[in-house]
């Protein structure tokens, strides 16, 4: 678990120090310099420049901040929604369980990529949002987070529901019920702490999935909008230049690969750590 956690921490620290690196190098990740397009690595540009003369290292750092922010924010929001749905379905049962789980099954059955492409291509200006706000960077980030939450919450919901069904039949929950504890108290104090292990694992794994999702949408031109950079948008910009300048695609592609692999390895390690069937655990 130490290696993927260290790798994720290293990527996060490198991304967060982007503004400091820009100040140190006296550059701007969005600054266009057509006189220095495709420049080789140098002291001023450690990884060179892209097709518009922008510093490649600074854009990688900015892309890391954007991609990690989207991945972590959407994963936490999806975990919160899935936890609420799973707790309600598992503890209340009956028609509540049937309705919520059929809703989750319906979301799972939807064709994911075509649905996201359609939703991401919607013009927010046509639903009453001002054009300046609809085209702002913050709204483009929020849109991706919302889209990711809409399709990712089902995993957390099903895991939490299953763990809730097991936990609510235990003696300490029955004892709380016999003492007159209310449903919110039982869910918060007794059931939620006992379903956190699978929830943490699912949330960790979903970070990598959401980063891939954001990369796909940005690659198709439906994700993060300029002047912000993300690893997916950098791949999209490098698509037509891969034969002449392959490093423009290799750098962001490698960062996506390393981040997703680290998230998946960390999730697997947490699963083994929390698994009660592992030797030495009770």
Residue with tokens 């949408």: 217
Residue 118 placed within a domain? yes
Residue with tokens 């890391």: 64
Residue 261 placed within a domain? yes
Determine contact, residues 214/67, Cβ cutoff 8 Å.
yes
Domain with 255 in it: 72-274
Q: Identify the pLDDT of residue 133.
A: 64
Q: Which residues of the chain have pLDDT under 70?
A: 1, 123-137, 274-282
Residue 60 placed within a domain? no
Backbone φ and ψ for 49, nearest 5 degrees, come out as: -125, 165
Q: Identify the pLDDT of residue 277.
A: 47
Residue 187 placed within a domain? yes
Residue 6 placed within a domain? no
**pTM here?**
0.84
Residue 199 placed within a domain? yes
Determine contact, residues 184/175, Cβ cutoff 8 Å.
no
Q: What's the domain count of the chain?
A: 1
Half-sphere exposure of 58 (CA within 13 A, CB side): 23
Residue 26 placed within a domain? no
Q: Identify the pLDDT of residue 100.
A: 92
Q: Identify the pLDDT of residue 135.
A: 64
Residue 48 placed within a domain? no
Residue 218 is part of a domain; what is its CATH number? 1.10.3720.10
The dihedral of CA 273, 274, 275, 280: what is its sign? positive
């Amino acid at each position: 678990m130490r290696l993927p956690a260290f790798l994720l921490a290293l990527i996060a620290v490198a991304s967060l120090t982007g503004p400091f690196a820009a100040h140190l190098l006296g550059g701007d990740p969005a600054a266009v310099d057509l006189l220095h397009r495709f420049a080789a690595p140098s002291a001023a540009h450690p990884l060179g420049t892209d097709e518009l003369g922008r510093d490649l290292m600074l854009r990688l750092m900015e892309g890391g901040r954007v991609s990690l922010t989207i991945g972590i924010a959407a994963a936490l929001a999806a975990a919160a929604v899935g936890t609420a749905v799973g707790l309600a379905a598992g503890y209340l049962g009956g028609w509540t369980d049937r309705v919520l789980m059929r809703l989750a099954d319906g979301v799972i059955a939807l064709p994911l990529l075509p649905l996201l492409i359609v939703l991401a291509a919607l013009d927010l200006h046509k639903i009453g949002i001002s054009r300046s706000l609809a085209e702002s960077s913050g709204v483009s980030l929020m849109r991706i987070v919302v889209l990711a939450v809409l399709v990712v919450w089902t995993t957390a919901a099903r895991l939490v529901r299953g763990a809730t069904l097991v936990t609510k039949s235990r003696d300490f929950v029955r004892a709380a019920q016999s003492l007159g504890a209310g449903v919110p108290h039982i869910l918060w104090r007794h059931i939620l702490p006992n379903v956190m292990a699978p929830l943490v694992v699912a949330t960790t794994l979903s970070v990598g999935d959401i980063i891939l999702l954001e990369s796909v949408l940005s690659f198709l031109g439906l994700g993060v909008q300029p002047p912000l950079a993300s690893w997916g948008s950098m791949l999209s910009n490098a698509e037509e230049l891969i034969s002449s300048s392959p490093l423009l695609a290799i750098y962001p592609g490698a960062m996506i690969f390393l981040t997703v692999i680290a998230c998946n390895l960390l999730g697997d390690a947490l699963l083994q750590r929390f698994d009660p069937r592992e030797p030495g655990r009770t």
